[in-house]
Amino acid sequence: MKMKYIMLMAAGLACSTIVKAQKPENIIAAVGSPSNPRVPISWNRYYDYTALTELCKKLAQAHPDLIKLGSMGKSFAGKDLWVMTITDHKVGNPDQKPAMYIDGNIHSNEIQGAEFALYTAWYLAEMFQQGNAAVKTLLAEKTFYIAPTINPDARDNFIHKANSAHSPRSGLLPIDNDRDGALNEDGFDDLDGDGHIVMMRRKNISGRFKADATDPRRMIMVGADEQGEYELLGQEGTDNDGDGLVNEDGEGFYDPNRDWGWNWQPNYVQSGAYKYPFSIPENRAVAEFVLKHPNIAAAQSYHNNGGMILRGPGAIEDVDTYNALDARVYDALGKKGEELLPGYRYLVVYKDMYSVFGGELDWFYGGRGIYTFSNELWTNYSLYNKTEPDNNLAQAQQYTFDKDLLMRDAFIDWHPLKHPQYGDIEVGGFKKTYSRLHPGFLLESDAHRNMAFSVYHAYHMPKLQVTELEVKDLGAGLSQVTAVVANERMIPTHSSQDIKNSIEIPDVVSLSGGTAIAAMIVNNRDLNITTEQKRDVANIKVDNIPGNAYVTVRWIVKGGTKFTVNVSSKKGGQASKTN
């Protein structure tokens, strides 16, 4: 009994030492990171829907003046689609500040997008609380709407059920992929019950593969004059319905990123499209949220993999949609992204990859005029911080990286199994959490860099200021009031796509303090060239306030000597000045 007491005391002292070591006075902050966060989160792992929900709630509870948690709607299985509204709620109306929307995990196996989005929310809140001046200014001026996962049903499928790194992409709507009359009938056959769908091989001297002499885990093709050792039988599984295909249906094969209402095409044109635009409930909830928040001026979605910063158009048919003025904004942001994200490339979807119809980023830009990027997270460049041009060497790096830096934790060693159709086989290969997903020690680093890119994008959303308010006495009780409204950031208050399609109402510059009897936009102040607005003269409508530029407006006013000019822009926010 005495020994047990001593052991308990020792354990208590050890715990107390650990707690004490984590007190603020025992820590020196690493620059650029929250040193004493209110919500400590480990960024070297992946969280299921329950854990993500708990973390979102903890962040909202710990930072009530910064984070408001709400639901955009329900998933097919009834899960809340959480969205955090992040801003300094003590300064201005969140829905009247220029806003950035961020989401992740639209494809269910591309799970790290949720962690990257959540990291952005956590970092902004904790650095604000720590007193970081840049973050405090950013959240005073801007709003972030962050939805960590917009496909929570299939996220949990990937995490908790047997899958490969490449499955599933979709959600859980009932689909008959092979048109045999059965819905989602096969699923994935996890022959050894380890939760990972890997590869099957069988010994065969007539096979085309052998074990790599440098790493026998790896299968390489034999030469023309060599004898083989194995035949590869494809991914782990069985043919449950006798159609000759293994694991072909999965659970609900469709592509949520082919469902959006811009250049949507049916499944026979665009593989993966569902019934009609926004027929998937999760996407419809996102679209409705965006429509209710016209202050969203920028957007970011997270996918994997390949290390790409993507913008539209998704298809060549939309090449004229992204005109030169908007392309310049995209190019400036994208090139900065390449600096912030080593190994990532700024690309145009249709030109540098393949055609996509009904994609999320095209709807955000084409349908709403919002400057939007889709980042393909994780790149093999991060393995050794260099580009490996040869595909064979790039594949070999997957094995050496696992051996040298992951202590062989990413590979399930080949082991024998009795297959109901193939007989004696072996199964083995990389886990579902390798090749497309970040290893733990690299997850936070890349999350931080992608967060910084989003912050840079958000920083350059419009910032309006009335920089000049000039009043001239015209006699007879009349005054000429001239105001200059500047946009101090790169992104205009209306994209060219917005202006071309009249997506959003014009910006409004209003005058109070006297009776406006005439109003005009000043095209050239030196030459006194103006365009008169004949109706509602107290409220001048401005089509756009360009990035890093200004507009000049003027009124002829009867009465008053003290005037106030107010600016209201859906995507540009508010500004005011009194003489």
3-class DSSP state for residue 516? strand
Query: What pairing do the DSSP bridges indicate for beta strands 143-147 and 99-104?
Result: parallel
The residue from 376, 426, 444, 468 that is catalytic is 376
Q: What are phi and psi of 377, to 5 degrees?
A: -80, 150
Enter the tokens of residue 384: 């050794």
> What is the amino acid identity at position 401?
F
Enter the tokens of residue 286: 């996102």
Enter the tokens of residue 487: 């946009």
Please, what sign has the CA dihedral across residues 400, 406, 407, 413?
Answer: negative
User: What's the CA gap between 82 and 69, in Å, rounded?
Assistant: 7
Contact 234/427 with Cβ under 8 angstroms? no
Q: Is 376 a catalytic residue?
A: yes
User: What's the CA gap between 350 and 353, in Å, rounded?
Assistant: 6
Contact 379/306 with Cβ under 8 angstroms? yes
Q: What is the largest CA-CA distance in the chain?
A: 105
Quick count: other Cβ atoms within 10 Å of Cβ 11? 10
- In angstroms, what CA-CA distances link 336 with 101, 123, 148, 331, 473? 19, 21, 24, 8, 48
3-class DSSP state for residue 393? helix
Contact 121/144 with Cβ under 8 angstroms? yes
Count of residues in the chain? 579
User: What's the CA gap between 122 and 37, in Å, rounded?
Assistant: 9
Enter the tokens of residue 271: 């593989």
- What one-character DSSP code corresponds to residue 523? E
User: What's the CA gap between 561 and 558, in Å, rounded?
Assistant: 9
Active site residues: 376
